Amino acid sequence: MLVVTRSVLAFALFVTLAFEFAPLRARADNSSLWLEPYREPAARLIGEALSDTFAWRRLSELTDTIGHRLSGTPQLDRAIQWAVEEMKNDGLENVHTEIVAVPRWVRGKESAEILDPARHPIVMLGLGGSVATPPEGIQADLLVVHSFEELDASAVRARGAIVLFNVPFTNYGETVRFRSSGASRAAHHGALAVLVRSVGPPGLRLPHTGALQYAADAPRIPAAAVTTEDADRLQRMTRRARVVVRLNMEAHFEADAESANVVGEIRGREKPDEVVVVSGHLDSWDVGAGATDDGGGCVVTWEALRIMKKLNLRPRRTVRVVLWTNEENGGRGGLAYRDQHRGELSRHVLMLESDGGVFQPAGFGFTGSDRARRTVAEIATLLRGIGADQIGPAGGGADIGPSVLDAKIASMSLDVDGSKYFLIHHTAADTIDKIDPTEMAKCAAAVAVMAYVVADLPQRLGE
């Protein structure tokens, strides 16, 4: 009994002490003395980014002068040359290209129309990677479905039909599967072609393109996105009567083309072999101007280095900007980087990709060790003044993915207000007027501060 009492007392004392000292210890940790020397450079980086609309003007030059940049096109080649020259003008170091063979998909002429019960044009965009229709087009009855289950249940009616997937946009992850695998699912049941409701919220009759993937075990049939308005109209019409649609597409692949990732650096002053990569993809779809997807991501990550150079801030480790080729329809740039840099991937401290737009930044998504997460969360407190101090549960990107997976590198995405992104994603409306120069400058500031501090930490991130 006595023993129990003593141990209870001892436990009570332990609890009391633990509670008394815990806040003190927490306060000491949270005060983050190591962060203090970074307040001044962070303030300078933010001040420089926000002092000017340089990033927005650079993006407007890219998108106005060169425009959209699909893999294998002369426009993408020009954008690559332009970026190399501009990076050299900025004074970046080790500026060069790294050759990548990319697919060359050509849209050609395309159209769709309702023939029966009345003639109406359908506003559409062929899906990237689609095959063509025969020259005379494909003319068939329309079958509207709202899920793969409904398609399977309507298999008999799918044979010989054009199938429309009319699935309203919820979020990208959920809805994009009808664009990526709808054609093969329908072809499996004998459909002749596929239309897909655009993957995005309703917006003034804008079709959204994007890549599809054909399965190996089904015939390759043509596929196109239609606007939400046209999808709903087709659905209303099929409820009243039989609807006949014609689709004409010339889409095809040509031989692979030579393209390149563009690389520039600020070499580290103490550990130049250890690298922090920041990046965006320079290629885009062949509509709009590729401003939000992903010219903006290229420019704000590149800005991080330009501003460091301008302020003469050289971190301990190397900061490298990579402008990827072929994110949209192949991912070959990210794969080539993994293969070409295999020998140094273990010395990659962090890889960041900005491919979600350059609207008001919220912070970063992060994937890495708990210890590294605590460090980046503290660095992010330096961004509270521009509202970019949140660290989300996961961060990555399509182009950094292959390297990150291969060498288990900590990875990050720039997280921004996503409310406008999918309205213009992969459409003719992806133009620079949707981007606010101040929000874009804040994105550049956020990337600059995060990249600079991680590259300059006394210990490698996570150690």
Binding stretches for Zn ion (CB under 5 A):
293-294, 355
Distance in Å, CB of 327 to Zn ion, minimum = 5
Q: Of the two residues 94 and 171, which places its CB atom closer to Zn ion in the complex?
A: 171
Q: Of the two residues 166 and 413, which places its CB atom closer to Zn ion in the complex?
A: 413
Q: Of the two residues 295 and 315, which places its CB atom closer to Zn ion in the complex?
A: 295
Is 93 a known active-site residue?
Answer: no
Distance in Å, CB of 281 to Zn ion, minimum = 6
Q: Of the two residues 286 and 293, which places its CB atom closer to Zn ion in the complex?
A: 293
Distance in Å, CB of 235 to Zn ion, minimum = 30
Distance in Å, CB of 335 to Zn ion, minimum = 16
Task: Choose, from 86, 265, 303, 327, the residue flagged as catalytic.
Answer: 327
Neighbours of 253 (CB within 10 A): 13
Distance in Å, CB of 284 to Zn ion, minimum = 8
Q: Of the two residues 294 and 415, which places its CB atom closer to Zn ion in the complex?
A: 294
Distance in Å, CB of 452 to Zn ion, minimum = 25
- Residues 452 and 319: beta-carbon distance below 8 Å: yes
Q: Of the two residues 356 and 368, which places its CB atom closer to Zn ion in the complex?
A: 356
Active site residues: 327
